Structure 1
Amino acid sequence: MTGMDARAREPADGIALPMLARNVTHFMRLLRDAGFGLSPAHAVDALEALRHVEIGQRDEVRAALAALTLSGPDQRPLFDAAFDLFWRDPDWEGKLRALLLPRVDAGAPPPRRSNRLADALAARTPEAPPRPQPPAAEERIAIPLTFSAQERLAQRDFETLDAEEWRALQHLIRTRRAHLGLQRTRRLRAATHGTHADLRASAKLAVRQHGEWLRWKYRQHAERKLPIVLLLDISGSMSQYSRAVLYFCHALMQSRERMHVFLFGTRLTNVTRALRERDPDDAVRLITEQVRDWAGGTRIGTALAEFNRHWARRTLSGRATVLLVTDGIDLEDIDLLDAEMARLARFAHRIVWLNPLLRYAGFSPQARGMQAILPHVDALRAAHNLDSLLQLETLLAHATDRTTDHPTDHIKADRQRQKRPSWK
């Protein structure tokens, strides 16, 4: 195995660490970049565990490292692939790159690609140094932009990304952990300090300390995450944006957010369970197999009617916020859409409409479907790039306040005035 030969104890590049220790550290970093929840302490524990096994026995080394790094059975295939590629061949980087290329052997189906290992390799590959530019004929003072590549990518429209930029965007979303708003509850939990003294816990502590009342115990109000319900349009005009929102929702689900996700085109589909997969590529693959109307037509009113009838009472409890992601283009029963939006507004604590068409500066909701949705929403935001999705964290962090903060308040006010009965 690489790094386990007779030269393992020789220092390299002036570093005092043995070659084996350096290889184990690099292997742990690779697993961490691939999505494993590892810390630098795991590398120290791995080196200590390898002292108690036979280094020449490949199976013993694999079992020792697996016992330290694996936290669930779903991580085993990814660990085995990383272990075989890292410790088998010096050209392990080329092997990892080859995972992106499907192969057919003797008519058998190609193996599943490990995109998480490919992303980890891409993150660890150093960039080529820039070439020196020839001196200009005239000396000019130029102030270049300070935006990094990730910031530029976060500002790009989802519809303009190519395949390589999509992979980079997915890796950027995957490595981010969002934390949304918390709701204060009436329940009390143990705390190190506060205003509510816990006499029973303090007395028990005094008994354990031989009657000496040395320290007080306190309790404070517990906080819980606010529930979120996502209604995502997957029609043909929303296909690229829907896929990006799904990856963003997967990151929220991995952050243990209380979230339910429904997709609708011509029918309504609950995909919450599929998004609980650890690998986002596997989650999206399961969703595409489950949903039959992807990139098809749009029946917003019918989908909302089905949601209100079968799912609203089960998911919209506890001051839930509804995220409606659609462009609002619906040519069918507009009266049904208006009635179901009014019913949804009675169930939900707040409705936030995410519309990709807001990327245009002169956007005005002129379509009948948009005008039917607008009076019943509490906020209207854009959803065309990663920056617009990340701004939801600030919006949802104050989910306890029901306010109207979208740029078309005057249109909504006009619609509401038209609905008021005339008493003259």
Structure 2
Amino acid sequence: MAGYLLHHIIRFGRTLRAAGVPITPGQIVAFIRALEWIPLEDRELFYHAARCTLVCRREDLETFDRVFEWFWRNPLMGGQLPPGLLSTAPGPIRRQENRPRPAEVGHPPAPEPRSENPEAPPVILADRAMTYSPIEILRRKPFERFSEEEIQRVRRLMARLRWQISERETRRLRPGPRGEHLDLRRTLRRSMRHYGEWVRLLWRTHKRKPRPLVVLCDISGSMERYARMLLHFLHALSHTRRHVETFVFGTRLTRITRCLHHRDLDEALREVSRTVVDWSGGTRIGECLHVFNRDWGRRVLGRGAVVMIISDGWDRGDVELLGREMERLQKSCYRLIWLNPLLGIPGYQPLTRGMQAALPYIDDFLPVHNLASLEQLAAHLERLPSRRSARRSGLARPVPSGEPE
């Protein structure tokens, strides 16, 4: 719901209750759900949706009409009823005919009731100047264009994201309502209550556990304008999930998992800056992946791990080595996801040598250039299949930012 309209609706319900109209929280929820099925620019439908969901007694109709007209003249004044509002002689309230008005992007115009006096000015239900919200703009704005104040806002929004990766099935079994394995021991024990008759079969199903997540982030010179926001993202991700291993690479590979364990973001970033020595340098993705597969692969890629590589694909190393290490990494993990901040640029094509060598072994090719792309990534991780499917052959299909998969 656009802007502060939801807040105004709740205040409107409290005002009706103060006027003597019995309003329950369920009626407020019903009114809000009804607005999802009507265009907000239709003033007549808005009025009737409120009347049908918030009024249950005939004797409350006149009170509702007067409070409705008074409240939506200026929603910010709602709360205390002016003296004499309900004692005025009752009279019919006519609705203003719908007149087309250019709608603002992201903030549809609210309904406008009108009194019976045709010369009276139209009543504005919501002050659009007070319903502005910068969240939608921040969701679509690229990371490299953020100001310092916007960075602080996005940090708080990142902390609210919840990362729920699809769980994996383990080999261990547990009692379940229905499963693939018959629990013969519990079935026989339960049958003793019925003189040995198998009245009900009991089953066992596989236990489910969360998948580990491994992130390798490029911090070379070409990724410098994205590095700060990506570190904020990695810090929020590390404190949302338990099993997260984080590495950064440029000309060498560095593990920063322990650095990001600090609850305070600034302290975590200072620890990362002291640990990493190849900031904004060259890029040797193949050599860094070789070190990761040799030294860390068996430690962190067990139990169906999901691997995310964050890089623009610019590489100055051996391209053939990059292809071999990508193939080895894909075979060792459950899912290999490549996040490219340049993928959010209209018309971008992965034509660099590094991307061309890596694409045949990427399962998912996604953008990571704004907050909306992070929300898209969270939804994608939640929809991953619980079982390993057949590996896709050929190039990964890029998913444009802001479009459903």
Relative to the length of structure 2, the TM-score reads: 0.58
Letter in 1 for 2:154: L
Q: How does 1:286-325 map to 2 (within 5 A)?
A: 286-325=271-310
Give the 3 Å change call, closer, same or farther, for CA 218–252 of structure 1 in structure 2: farther
Contact 2:162–2:378 (CA<8 Å) still a contact in 1? no
Contact 2:217–2:247 (CA<8 Å) still a contact in 1? yes
Give the 3 Å change call, closer, same or farther, for CA 190–256 of structure 1 in structure 2: farther
Match for residue 398 of structure 1 among 359, 381, 384: 384
Shift of 1:348: 2.4
Contact 2:212–2:243 (CA<8 Å) still a contact in 1? yes
In 2: Cα distance, 1:376 partner to 1:206 partner: 53
The equivalent of 2:398 in structure 1 is 407
Q: What whole-Å deviation, never above 9, does each CA across 1:59-109 have from its counterpart, x for those lacking one?
A: xxxxxxxxxxxxxxxxxxxxxxxxxxxxxxxxxxxxxxxxxxxxxxxxxxx
Contact 2:161–2:375 (CA<8 Å) still a contact in 1? no
Give the 3 Å change call, closer, same or farther, for CA 273–362 of structure 1 in structure 2: same
Contact 2:301–2:332 (CA<8 Å) still a contact in 1? yes
The equivalent of 2:169 in structure 1 is 184
Letter in 1 for 2:103: I
Match for residue 254 of structure 1 among 239, 255, 265: 239
Shift of 1:198: 6.8
Q: How does 1:185-264 map to 2 (within 5 A)?
A: 185-189=170-174, 193-194=177-178, 220-264=205-249
Contact 1:345–1:351 (CA<8 Å) still a contact in 2? yes
Structure 2: tracts of 5 or more residues without a match: 1-75, 77-98, 108-132, 193-199, 400-405
Contact 1:241–1:383 (CA<8 Å) still a contact in 2? no
User: Within the alignment, does 1:337 sit opposite 2:322 as a pair?
Assistant: yes
Q: Quick check: 159-168 or 149-158, which moved more?
A: 149-158
The equivalent of 2:104 in structure 1 is 144
**Over the residues paired in the alignment, what is the CA RMSD in angstroms?**
3.3
Shift of 1:225: 0.9
In 1: Cα distance, 2:257 partner to 2:100 partner: 56
Shift of 1:375: 1.7
User: Within the alignment, does 1:283 sit opposite 2:268 as a pair?
Assistant: yes
Q: How does 1:80-95 map to 2 (within 5 A)?
A: none
Shift of 1:299: 1.5
Contact 1:178–1:251 (CA<8 Å) still a contact in 2? no
Shift of 1:331: 2.3
Q: What whole-Å deviation, never above 9, does each CA across 1:231-283 have from its counterpart, x for those lacking one?
A: 10011221232332332233332233422111001110011122222233322
Relative to the length of structure 1, the TM-score reads: 0.55
Contact 1:225–1:257 (CA<8 Å) still a contact in 2? no
The equivalent of 1:126 in structure 2 is none
Shift of 1:292: 1.4
Partner SS, residue 305 of structure 1 = helix
The equivalent of 2:349 in structure 1 is 364
Contact 1:199–1:217 (CA<8 Å) still a contact in 2? yes
Give the 3 Å change call, closer, same or farther, for CA 197–338 of structure 1 in structure 2: closer
Contact 1:334–1:368 (CA<8 Å) still a contact in 2? yes
The equivalent of 1:88 in structure 2 is none
Q: What whole-Å deviation, never above 9, does each CA across 1:180-228 have from its counterpart, x for those lacking one?
A: 211122323456x555787878999999xxxxxxx99975432111122
Q: What whole-Å deviation, never above 9, does each CA across 1:17-36 have from its counterpart, x for those lacking one?
A: xxxxxxxxxxxxxxxxxxxx
The equivalent of 1:170 in structure 2 is 155
Letter in 1 for 2:384: H
Partner SS, residue 292 of structure 2 = helix
In 2: Cα distance, 1:295 partner to 1:387 partner: 26
Letter in 2 for 1:154: R
The percent of aligned pairs where both chains have the same amino acid is 41
Aligned length: 267
The structure whose RCO (Cα within 8 Å, separation 6+) is larger is: 2
Letter in 1 for 2:268: A
Partner SS, residue 394 of structure 1 = helix
Greater Cα radius of gyration, structure 1 or 2? 2
Give the 3 Å change call, closer, same or farther, for CA 203–245 of structure 1 in structure 2: farther
Shift of 1:330: 1.2
User: Within the alignment, does 1:380 sit opposite 2:340 as a pair?
Assistant: no
Structure 1: tracts of 5 or more residues without a match: 1-128, 130-138, 208-214, 409-424
In 2: Cα distance, 1:342 partner to 1:197 partner: 39
